[in-house]
Amino acid sequence: MQVVPIDVPELGNRTHLVHDGARALVVDPPRDLAQVERAAAEAGVEIAAVADTHVHNDYVSGALGLARRHGADYLLAADEQVEFERVGVRDGDVVPVGGLEVRVLATPGHTRHHQSFLVRRHEAHDGPAALFSGGSLLRGTVGRTDLVDDRLTHELARQQWASGRLLGALDPATTLHPTHGFGSFCAGSASTGTDGGGTIGDELRSNPVLTTNRERFVTDLVAGFGPIPRYYPRMAPLNRAGAGRALPRPARRVTAAEVTDAVLGGAWVVDLRRRASFSDGHLPGTVSVEYGTQFATYVGWLVPWEDDLVLLCDRPDDIEAALRDLAAIGIDGPRTHVLEPRTPLPASYRRADWLDFRETAVAPVVVDVRQRDEYDAGHLPGALHLPVQDVDVRGQDLPPGELWVHCRSGYRAGIAASLLHRMGRRVVHVDDAWDRVAELAIPTTTGGVAA
């Protein structure tokens, strides 16, 4: 038995392909199937079964489409209400996949009908197995329990504790292969592992779900939940309808005049270029979301679902990658425009680093756009806290004058600075790492007030 992890950093997740040398099971695939099919081809195996551990809340599943492309069975909890045919599986079911047996374990908590899959070779009934835990037991944490329904958060947290204990009772040598915990907001807290390795035995020593009594675990878990990206509630309905089986709608190229009309009409015009290039010059009224692994997360979080979207870039390759990433969360067919080299870009604002900040003669108004847990862990004295996802809604409430905007790396601050600049504010984008604050002996504090 071989397990092939397939990183999907744009979603903060990991898909897995497990095979016996000839036939394979794929667990929790994304909508873009190219990487999964490439991994199967490189391993020289046939995709014989596809499984989702749960109806996903953070991305559009590619499981139904992958299963149909390869004539494979699609395994999903029998109790899930969906609009397509699949192989409904229940706790205790054993599904053969070539020389492997896939045992279904009911592990509710992250969702009501969440399942994990315990895989081993047929002839190795007492040998080590591989556990594909989805959003149940993660490396050092578990999946969050507040994504299905606010009213179920605590009950699902109690179920998550019971599911964690169930999985913790497996052979300690069982290898652990979660889907979440690599950057997805579906994780209940920060994961302790990024390499995807590890065993149940590792978790027995350090995972709070296996070392803490139930009520303390529930209290601590729920208290640690951060904000939910705005697009998450859209994902489960799309997945229940089988949206991932269809190819994304194609984008439509638009002219420079149509981009201007979109800005004037109040559409979201998102510039994918490097944040330094955007600050040096951009079209007035546009917003900077530099293309990278977090691109789709923040576009999906910031742009209202029903609003029109236009993407700008100076490199066609970035446009193609951005379209793929947006399709992964169900945003199909935005309009696109590639900027010509001589396009006038009259709007600009200043970028600075922490050394510039330290040398300012008068302390500026600082806006910290990190999340609450980051702010509480340490921030500049007097800094106003306004998480990046709230800037477009609450930015007008900030005090008058020039605003110095920062985050942990400069990425989110670039988004926030562009949003404030679009509102007509004078901004300085602090495009520097937060670690530099300590290096430069700039004072920090805890506590404070929001914007």
| Number of domains the chain contains | 3
**The CATH number of the domain where 188 resides is what?**
3.60.15.10
Q: In the 3-class helix/strand/coil scheme, how is 303-366 assigned residue by residue?
A: CCCCCCEEEEECCHHHHHHHHHHHHCCCCCCCEEEECCCCCCCCECCEEECHHHHHCCCCCCEE
- Domain boundary among the residues 338, 373, 405 is at 338
Helix (H, G, I), strand (E, B) or coil at 8: strand
- Judge whether 107 lies within some domain: yes
- Judge whether 449 lies within some domain: no
- Domain boundary among the residues 224, 240, 256 is at 240
Are 353 and 431 in contact by the 8 Å Cβ rule? The answer is: yes
Q: What is the pLDDT of residues 392-431, one digit of tens each?
A: 999 999 999 999 999 999 999 999 999 999 999 999 999 9
State residue 137's pLDDT score.
97
User: Above 80 in pLDDT, residue 447?
Assistant: no
Pairwise CA distance, residues 261 & 336, whole Å:
13
Q: Give 239's pLDDT tier (boundaries 50, 70, 90).
A: very high
Please, which residues have CB within 8 angstroms of residue 368's CB and are 6 or more apart in sequence? 375, 379, 380, 383, 384, 385, 386, 406, 407
Q: Give 16's pLDDT tier (boundaries 50, 70, 90).
A: very high
**The CATH number of the domain where 356 resides is what?**
3.40.250.10
DSSP-assigned letter for residue 73: E
Q: What is the pLDDT of residues 107-136, one digit of tens each?
A: 999 999 999 999 999 876 666 899 999 999
Pairwise CA distance, residues 435 & 116, whole Å:
38
Q: What global pTM score does this model have?
A: 0.93
Helices (H), 214-315: 214-223, 232-240, 256-264, 275-280, 295-302
- Report which of residues 193 and 366 the model is more confident about: 366
User: Above 70 in pLDDT, residue 194?
Assistant: no
Pairwise CA distance, residues 4 & 170, whole Å:
22
> At residue 60, what is the residue type?
V
State residue 195's pLDDT score.
64
Q: Note whether 318 and 376 are same-domain residues.
A: no
Pairwise CA distance, residues 392 & 389, whole Å:
7
Share of the chain above pLDDT 90, in %: 92
Q: What is the pLDDT of residues 421-442, one digit of tens each?
A: 999 999 999 999 999 999 999 9
- Judge whether 77 lies within some domain: yes
Q: Extract the tokens encoding 328.
A: 């992964």
- Domain boundary among the residues 288, 310, 338 is at 338
User: Above 60 in pLDDT, residue 196?
Assistant: no
Q: Note whether 144 and 78 are same-domain residues.
A: yes
Pairwise CA distance, residues 70 & 68, whole Å:
5
Q: Note whether 281 and 141 are same-domain residues.
A: no
144-173: average pLDDT? 97
Helices (H), 106-196: 153-168
- Judge whether 345 lies within some domain: no
Pairwise CA distance, residues 449 & 446, whole Å:
10
Q: Note whether 212 and 294 are same-domain residues.
A: no
Q: Note whether 324 and 208 are same-domain residues.
A: no
- Judge whether 113 lies within some domain: yes
Containing structural domain, residue 79: 2-240
Q: Note whether 129 and 164 are same-domain residues.
A: yes
